């Protein structure tokens, strides 16, 4: 019951989607559409599971007064507040004539997105520039042929993306050496390496998917006896 039914669901869902590629007619074409709708709905509940789990863990931290519990309180307040604003804007917008989406400019939810979510996420990811710069200082050392190629490719791709390097070389030649070479690296050797990796990944995904559909790979349904 605990293992057999999930394996059966996995196999049926996998087969329906795989076969519908080759036979896009009923019943497989219709089944793919039905399964697709289910997955769209289930995905939304999966996101809600994550949010509720975060809430549960944060409440536990607050009630147990663990270290850093005030930050868990900030998570709870910001999560509940955003949910309240989102639901209010969503339902009140639908009641208006014409209807207004909760994401439309001028809504409270849009304000949250523009002045809270975007600054926080953009700054969080922009900080990676500093860490990547320090990582490149360690990685870009010409110790052997491979490391030298890594260094040259990285140097030209970075140099070719800013006008400074082409300007520096302009007294010698008008030809934009850095940006041309960066484009050449991205178009040819980079494409070659990417394709080799992509083909390898595709073959790996094929074999893994086959193992999942045939019920050989069961890690997604957890351990324990059935």
Partner 1 sequence: METVSIWIAAILTLGIFSFLYKDNPLYKACEALFVGVSAAYWAIVFYFDNIYKKFYEGAVTAEEPDYFLWIGAILGLLFLTRLIPNIGWVSRWPMALIVGATAGLWMVGYFVSNAMNQIGNTISNIIVRDAATGFIAWGETFGTLVILVGVLSGLVYFFFSKEHKGVFGATAKVGTWFLMVTFGASFGYTVMSRMSLLIGRVDFLLGDWLHILR
Residues 159-178 contacting partner 1, CB under 8 A: 161-162
Q: Applying CB under 8 A, which of residues 23, 27, 29, 38 lies at the interface with partner 1?
A: 38
Which residues, 6+ apart, have CB-to-CB distance to 72 below 8 Å? 57, 58, 59, 61, 62, 66
Q: Applying CB under 8 A, which of residues 62, 169, 177, 186 lies at the interface with partner 1?
A: 186
Q: Does 107 bind partner 1 (CB under 8 A)?
A: no
# chain residues binding partner 1, by CB under 8 A: 128
Residues 135-154 contacting partner 1, CB under 8 A: 136, 139, 145-147, 149-154
Q: Does 51 bind partner 1 (CB under 8 A)?
A: yes
Calculate the alpha carbon distances from 102 to 83, 110, 113, 183, 202 in Å.
12, 7, 11, 42, 39
Q: Does 24 bind partner 1 (CB under 8 A)?
A: no
Is residue 221 within 8 Å of 8, Cβ to Cβ? no
Centroid of chain to Cα 73: 27
**Taking contact as CB under 8 A, which single stretch among the options 3-11, 163-171, 173-181 is the one that binds partner 1?**
3-11
Nearest approach, Cβ of residue 172 and partner 1 (Å): 22
Q: Does 62 bind partner 1 (CB under 8 A)?
A: no
Instruction: Please give the Cα distance from 190 to 93 (Å, whole number).
Output: 48
Give 180's DSSP letter.
Answer: H
Residue closer to partner 1 by CB (options 169, 209) is 209
Residues 86-105 contacting partner 1, CB under 8 A: 86-87, 90, 102-103
Q: How many helices (H) and strands (E) does the chain have?
A: 10, 0
């Amino acid at each position: 019951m605990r293992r057999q039914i999930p394996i059966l669901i996995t196999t049926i869902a996998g087969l329906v989607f795989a076969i519908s590629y080759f036979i896009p007619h009923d019943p497989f074409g219709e089944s793919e559409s039905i399964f697709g709708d289910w997955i769209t709905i289930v995905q939304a509940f999966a996101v809600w599971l994550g949010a509720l789990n975060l809430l549960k863990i944060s409440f536990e931290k607050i009630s147990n007064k663990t270290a850093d519990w005030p930050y868990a309180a900030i998570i709870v307040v910001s999560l509940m507040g955003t949910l309240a604003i989102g639901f209010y804007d969503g339902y009140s917008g639908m009641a208006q004539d014409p209807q207004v989406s909760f994401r439309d400019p001028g809504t409270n939810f849009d304000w949250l997105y523009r002045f809270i979510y975007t600054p926080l996420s953009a700054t969080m990811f922009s900080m990676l520039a500093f860490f990547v710069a320090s990582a490149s200082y360690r990685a870009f050392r010409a110790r052997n042929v491979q490391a030298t190629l890594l260094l040259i490719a990285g140097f030209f791709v970075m140099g070719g993306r800013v006008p400074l390097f082409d300007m520096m070389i302009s007294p010698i030649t008008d030809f934009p050496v850095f940006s041309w070479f960066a484009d050449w690296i991205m178009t040819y050797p980079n494409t070659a390496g990417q394709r080799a990796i992509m083909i390898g990944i595709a073959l790996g995904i094929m074999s893994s998917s086959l193992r999942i559909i045939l019920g050989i790979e069961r890690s997604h349904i957890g351990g324990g006896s059935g």
